[in-house]
Amino acid sequence: VHGGFQRIFFSSISSIDTFFCFLSSASIRLTMNQTNAEDKRKAREEKKKQKEALDSAFHLEDTVELEDFFLNTNYVVVTYNVSDRVVKAYSLKDTITDYDLTGQVVWPGTDILLNYMVHANQSSLLSGRKCIELGAGAGIVGLLAAQYCKEMVFTDHNDIVLDLINQNIQYNQEINATTQCSCSSYKLDWHDVKKVVGSSFPSSWSWMKGCEVLLGSDIIYSVDAVMALIATVNLMFSVASTSSSYPVFILSYVSRWRNVDEALCEGLQNQPWSVTDVPLTDFLDTVSDRLKHGRLYVIRPNQ
């Protein structure tokens, strides 16, 4: 009996020890889990504080626009002498062409159209007319035209470029106080014109009406742009003042991409227009290397 009691006693002690070991182990695991959870909570709070500090330092809560990233308005005054005419305007010497701010720079096609306008004005092409420049950029072409015509409308689709145009309009009004031409500027995206083809004419585009001369220099840069440009010219021809010589669209550009050239030629051929390809030697004494691939088209709707 004594031996049996002893076995039961020690067995009970062993069970109790096992039970307390279990409790101790569970308590340790619980403590460890609580410690891990607390550590994770503190780590999350620390990360949150670090992010808030970075946001505060770098203003990451603000939207960063590509326009702001590439923006450069360190303009310089450039002077263009064409025969007895002088045009001065602000523009950039160069630009980051990965973003759509190429209108801040004056491109080679401008030289072609400037010289043609001075040459063609002998037949009063611009005198007393309402002119619209498409894709005006810095507005060099329109500023020269304003020395002849009665009303000059500058257009571009980029707000920053429009600011530059307005700056140049103001600058030239100050240096050419005798010029009687009325100048204005409007935002125009040719792709918006494509969207309204076949619809009623938007009242917000009433400034297009009565146009006699359209001007464009180096505004051909993609197949899509060619199609949008043709739609825009078609619309402007439809609301233009018509006579024996008007309306007329004068387009200069320097050829850069064969697919764009092909799209332009095909697009012009598919319109009810008369297109004259004017040789550059007709109005330029010499054709420089930068203009050797240049073209000038005089485009009129068929009468």
Q: What is the pLDDT of residues 103-112, one digit of tens each?
A: 787 888 999 9
Mean pLDDT value across residues 163-175: 90
If you average pLDDT over residues 61-78, what whole number do you get? 66
Residue 225 · residue 194 · CB < 8 Å: no
pTM beyond 0.85: no
| C-alpha span between 260 and 223 (Å, rounded) | 5
Report d(CA 165, CA 184) in Å as an integer. 9
Of the listed ranges 170-174, 178-182, 251-255, the least confidently predicted one is: 178-182
Query: What is the average per-residue pLDDT within 99-123?
Result: 81
pLDDT at 60: 42
Torsion of CA 174, 176, 179, 181, to 10 degrees: -60
172-180 contact pairs (CB < 8 A, 24+) = 172/87, 172/88, 172/89, 172/143, 172/146, 175/88, 176/147, 179/146, 179/147, 180/150
What is the pLDDT at residue 301?
Answer: 96
Is residue 180 pLDDT above 90, yes or no?
no
Q: Are 155 and 228 in contact (CB under 8 A)?
A: no
pLDDT > 70? residue 63: no
Q: Cα separation of 140 and 111, whole Å?
A: 9
**What confidence category does residue 174 fall into, taking pLDDT thresholds of 50, 70 and 90?**
confident
Position of tokens 């003042």? Answer: 241
The whole-number pLDDT of residue 51 equals 64
Closest CA to 179 of 263, 87, 73: 87
Of the candidates 44, 140, 133, 45, which has an alpha carbon nearest to the alpha carbon of residue 92? 140
The whole-angstrom separation of Cα 67 and Cα 253 is 26
